[in-house]
Amino acid sequence: MKLLEIKHLNKSYRIAGKEKVSVLRDVNLDFESGEFVSILGESGSGKSTLMNIIGGMDSDYEGDVIVQGKTLRGMKENEIDAYRKDKIGFIFQSFNLIPHLSVLDNVMIAMQMTDSSMKERTTRAKEILTDIGLKDHLHKRPNQLSGGQKQRVAIARALSNDPDIILADEPTGSLDQDTSEQILELLDSIAKKGVLIITVTHSQRVANFGSRIVLVEDGCIKEEQNLKERYMAVKESEEKKGKNLSFAASFKLAIDNMTLNAKRNILVATGGAIGILSVVLMLSLGNGVTGYLNDEINSSLNPLLVDVVKQTAVEGEAKMENRGPNQQTATEPLTEQDYDVISSIKNVDRVEKITTITGKSNVVFNDKSQELSSLGTVTDSIKAADIKQGALPAENEVLLTADFAKKLSSEATYTSLVGKKVNLYINEMNEQNQPVSVAAELVVSGIYEQADRGPISGSNAYLAYATLDKAFSKQSLSLLPSQLNAYAANIDDVEGIKAAVGEAGFTSSPIASIMERITTYLKMASWVLSSIAGISLLVSGIMILVVLNISVVERTREIGILRAIGARKKDIRRIFFSESALLGLFSGVIAVGAAWGISILLNNIMVNSFGVGLILLTPQYMLFGLVVSTLISVIAGVMPSSKAAKLDPMESLRYE
C-alpha cells in the first residue's frame, strides 16, 4: 500500500462566479514513505494548489487523494482536522510563525490539541528544538530570529505531532543559498526517518536535492525523474487521540495576544468600564438615597400606626372645572363620632387623638413671653431617647424643644427649666366668634432634642391631648383632633385597617402618603438614571465588537496557521471567546474598582457637607458589574468569534 496516492485530480477555480479556470488537470501521482519529492514548476503552475489539496486545506476538487488507503473525499470536517493535525506537517515559504508566542510555544501549539500532558509536550518540543539546533533560542520571539532560524522553528512545529507527511511550500524561497542548503539537509534527515517530504520549488537547484523530481507545467505532470532511492526506514505510525484546545491553553493564547496589544486593550477596557461604572454608581446612589429616606420615615413613623384624617374638597372654581385627582382638598377636624367609627374597626388596638395648634399661642416663664409657632400633642413618634433631660409630659406637663427652651430661658440655663412652672396661653374664638384665652399652668417635663426631619418639621412644644382638652373645656370650648392615630396590634393588620379607614370615608395623613410617593419616585428616578447609564453599556458592547472584529482581521493569518496545523473551528472560536471574556472581566474589574473609589470619595464629601453619605455600594452591585461586563463582552464577541472560526484556512494563509 502506497503512503499517498493521487488519482485523476482536477481542480479549477471559479473566479468571482464567472467561468472556471482549470488549474490542475488529471494529476496522477504515487508517494512512498522516506521519499523526498520536489515538485518543480514555474510560478502559477498550480503547485500550491496541489499542496493545499494534499494537506486537507482544500476539499473542492475532482478525483481522489488516498492516504494510507483512506480517501480524503467524504471525510467529515473533524476527520479532516484530525488528519491535518496528526498526519501532516506544514512548512511555508514565509515561515508563518505566530509572532506573539515564544519559539517554544510556537512548537507546542499544535501539540496542545492532542491529549498529551503539558510535561510531555514541553519535553518533546525542547527535544525537537535541540535536535534542530535552536536550544539557545527557546524563549525568543520569532522576530528575534534570522530567516534560517525561523524556518527551523517552522520545521520543528511541523515535526511536533510526529507526522507521516511533511508538505513544504517553497521552504527555501526566503532564504539565502547557504541557509537553504542547511534547511534542505534538515528535511533530508527527516526523510531518513521514514517521513514523506514533499517540497515545492521553482528552482532546479533546490529540486535536485531530493530523491525524485516531479515537473509540473500548467497544471499537468510533464515529467517524473528519479534521482536516488528513497530511505527505507519504517516509521511507525501510532494512533493519536485528538482533543480540543483546552480552555487553559486558549486563555493563555488570549492573554499573550492581549499583552501584545496592551495599550489598545487597556483603552478599550477602560472605555467599557465607564458604562458599567455609571450603572453601578447610579444603582448605589438610588440604593443609598431610598435607604436613607426609609430610615428617616421609619424612625419618625411607627409601622403599626395608621393615621386618619378627614378630607373635604375645597369649594370654588377648582371644583367646577376640575373634578380629577388634582382637585384641591383640605383636612377638617374629626368628631367624637368619627373617633368611635375608627375605634370600632377590627384589629384596632387603640386610637390616639392628636392635634397641632399653629400660631396664636405663647408660653410665659418668669414674665418672659415667647410665642409658639406650633404646639402639638404628644404621640408615639416622640422617642424617649430624644429627650435630653427630663421625661415625656404627663397630665399638666409640657415638653419643650431645646430650641424653644433656649429662647424662653437662655442658651446657658435652658436645661434648668425642667420641673419649673410655665403658663400657656392660646387665643381662640368661641362659637359666638368672640376671642377667648385658653390658659393652663404647666410643669416642664423635659427638653426634647428634635431630630432634623426635613419636610416633617415638628412643633415647639408638646403636651398630652387630655391636658389641652381640659384647658379648652374650662373655657367651654371643645377641642377637636385634626388627626386620629389608630394603632394595630399586629403589623399584619395594618393594611386591613388602612383599607377599612378608606371605606369609612377617611384618608391616611398626607405626609405619610407623600413620603411613600417620594420613595416611589426616587426608586423610579434611580432606575431611569441607571437605564440611561445602561445606554453606555450598549456603546461599550459595540466598541468591544469592533475591536474583536479588527482583531480577527489582523489575525487572519494566525487563524490560517492554526487551522493548517489542525485547530478546529471550535478551537478558533474558543480563543476569541476567551479573549472577549477576559476583556469584559478586565473592564468589569476596572469599573468596580473605580466605583468603589469614587463612592468612598463622594461619601466623604457628602458626610462633610450634609452629615450623611448617600452612595451605598453593596457587594451585590459589584458582582453585578463584573457579571454584566463579562456577559456584554462575551455577547459582543460571538459575531467576531464565529467569523474567525469560519475563515477559510487556505484563504487566510494567502492573506497578506
| Partners of 370 in the β-ladder | 363
- The item of ligand ADP, Mg ion, none sharing an interface with residue 96, based on CB under 5 to 8 Å by kind, is none
Tell the smallest beta-carbon distance from residue 145 to ligand ADP (Å).
25
Judged by beta carbon, residue 23 or residue 132, the one nearer ligand ADP is 23
CA-based nearest residue to 415, from 464, 449, 457: 449
The amino acid sitting at 485 is N
Question: Following CA atoms 615, 621, 625, 626 in sequence, which dihedral angle do they give, to the nearest 10 degrees?
Answer: 130
Q: Report the nearest approach of ligand ADP to the CB of residue 573 (Å).
A: 24
Stretch that binds ligand ADP, among 40-48, 233-241, 338-346, 354-362 (CB under 6 A): 40-48
Does the protein bind ligand ADP through residue 44 (CB under 6 A)?
yes
Residues 368-387 contacting Mg ion, CB under 5 A: none
Q: Report phi then psi at 71, rounded to 5.
A: -80, 140
- In whole angstroms, the minimum distance from the beta carbon of 265 to ligand ADP comes to 33
User: Total residues contacting Mg ion (rule CB under 5 A)?
Assistant: 1
Name the one range near ligand ADP by CB under 6 A: 47-55, 242-250, 386-394, 574-582: 47-55
Nearer to ligand ADP, 15 or 384 (CB): 15
| Candidate segments 45-53, 144-152, 325-333, 451-459, binder of Mg ion by CB under 5 A | 45-53
In the complex with ligand ADP, which residue's Cβ is closer, 45 or 556? 45
Q: Please identify, using beta-carbon distances, which residue of 23 and 187 lies nearer to ligand ADP.
A: 23
Task: Report how far apart, in Å, the C-alpha atoms of 596 and of each of 270, 527, 536 are.
Answer: 15, 20, 19
From the CB of 214, what's the least distance to Mg ion, in Å? 15
Cβ-proximal residue to ligand ADP, closest one: 48
Q: What is the closest distance, in whole angstroms, from the C-beta atom of residue 171 to Mg ion in the complex?
A: 12
Smallest distance from ligand ADP to CB 143, Å: 26
Nearer to Mg ion, 48 or 540 (CB): 48
> Between the CA of residue 257 and those of 111, 117, 349, 543, 551, what are the distances in Å?
19, 23, 72, 18, 10
Site for ligand ADP in 223-252 (CB under 6 A): none
**What are the CA-CA distances from residue 655 to residues 96, 533, 569 (Å)?**
11, 41, 18
Give which of ligand ADP, Mg ion, none residue 432 binds (C-beta under 5 to 8 Å, depending on kind): none
Contact status: 41 vs ligand ADP (CB under 6 A): yes
Stretch that binds Mg ion, among 43-51, 57-65, 187-195, 246-254 (CB under 5 A): 43-51
Question: Does residue 38 interact with ligand ADP by CB under 6 A?
Answer: no
Going by their DSSP bridges, the two strands 329-332 and 305-313 should be labelled as antiparallel
**Which residues, 4 to 23, sit near ligand ADP by CB under 6 A?**
13, 15, 23
Helix count (H) and strand count (E) of the chain? 19, 22
Q: Cβ closer to ligand ADP: 127 or 648?
A: 648
Is the separation of the CB atoms in 400 and 417 below 8 Å?
A: yes
How far is residue 237's CA from residue 1's CA, in Å, rounded to a whole number?
A: 14
Compute the least distance from the CB of residue 44 to ligand ADP, in Å.
4
Min dist. Cβ of residue 70 to ligand ADP (A): 25
Between CA 603 and CA 225 the distance in angstroms is 86
Told to check if 199 binds ligand ADP by CB under 6 A, we report: no
CA distances from 172 to 94, 165, 176, 632 (A): 9, 18, 8, 46
Three-state DSSP at 533 gives helix
Asked if residues 185 and 171 have their Cβ atoms less than 8 Å apart, the reply is: no
Closest residue by beta carbon to Mg ion: 48
The entry of ligand ADP, Mg ion, none that residue 45 binds, CB within 5 to 8 Å by partner kind:
ligand ADP
Instruction: Tell me: does residue 48 bind Mg ion (CB under 5 A).
Output: yes
Q: Given candidates 17, 43, 325, 412, which one binds ligand ADP under the rule CB under 6 A?
A: 43
Residue with the three cell numbers 476538487? 61
Nearest approach, Cβ of 35 to Mg ion (angstroms)? 21
Distance CA 589, CA 634 (A): 15
**3-class secondary structure per residue, 98-147:** CCCCCHHHHHHHHHCCECCCHHHHHHHHHHHHHHCCCHHHCCCCHHHCCH
Stretch that binds ligand ADP, among 39-47, 278-286, 440-448, 635-643 (CB under 6 A): 39-47
Number of neighbours of residue 463 by Cβ within 10 angstroms: 25
Phi, psi at residue 539, to the nearest 5°?
-60, -45
**Long-range contact pairs involving 296-301 (C-beta distance under 8 Å, separation at least 24):** 296/453, 296/454, 297/512, 297/515, 297/519, 299/451, 300/381, 300/451, 300/453, 300/456, 301/381, 301/512, 301/515
49 forms part of the interface with ligand ADP (CB under 6 A)? yes
Using CB under 6 A as the binding rule, whether residue 39 contacts ligand ADP is answered as no
Pick from 52, 163, 500, 74: nearest CA to 155: 163
- Least Å from the CB of residue 38 to Mg ion: 14
Is residue 106 a contact point for Mg ion (CB under 5 A)? no
In the complex, minimum distance from the CB of residue 651 to ligand ADP, in angstroms, rounded to a whole number: 7
Query: Which part of the chain contacts ligand ADP (CB under 6 A), choosing from 45-53, 118-126, 272-280, 536-544?
Result: 45-53
Residues in the interface with ligand ADP (CB under 6 A) total 11
User: Please, what is the minimum distance in Å from the beta carbon of residue 221 to Mg ion?
Assistant: 17
CB of 46 to ligand ADP, least distance (A): 4
3-state secondary structure of 325: coil
Which of the listed partners (ligand ADP, Mg ion, none) does 41 bind, with a CB threshold of 5 to 8 Å by partner kind?
ligand ADP
E-assigned strands of 412-468?
421-429, 435-448, 461-463
Contacts of 41 (CB under 8 A, 6+ apart): 47, 200, 202, 215, 216, 217
The full 3-state SS of 161-217, as one line of letters, equals CCCCEEEEECCCCCCCHHHHHHHHHHHHHHHCCCCEEEEEECCHHHHCCCCEEEEEE
Q: Does 48 bind ligand ADP (CB under 6 A)?
A: yes
Q: Binding of ligand ADP at residue 47 (CB under 6 A)?
A: yes
- Quickly list H helices, 454-493: 465-474
Q: Tell me which residue has cell 528513497.
A: 230
Footprint on this chain of Mg ion (rule: CB under 5 A): 48
* Contact set with ligand ADP (CB under 6 A): 13, 15, 23, 41, 43-49
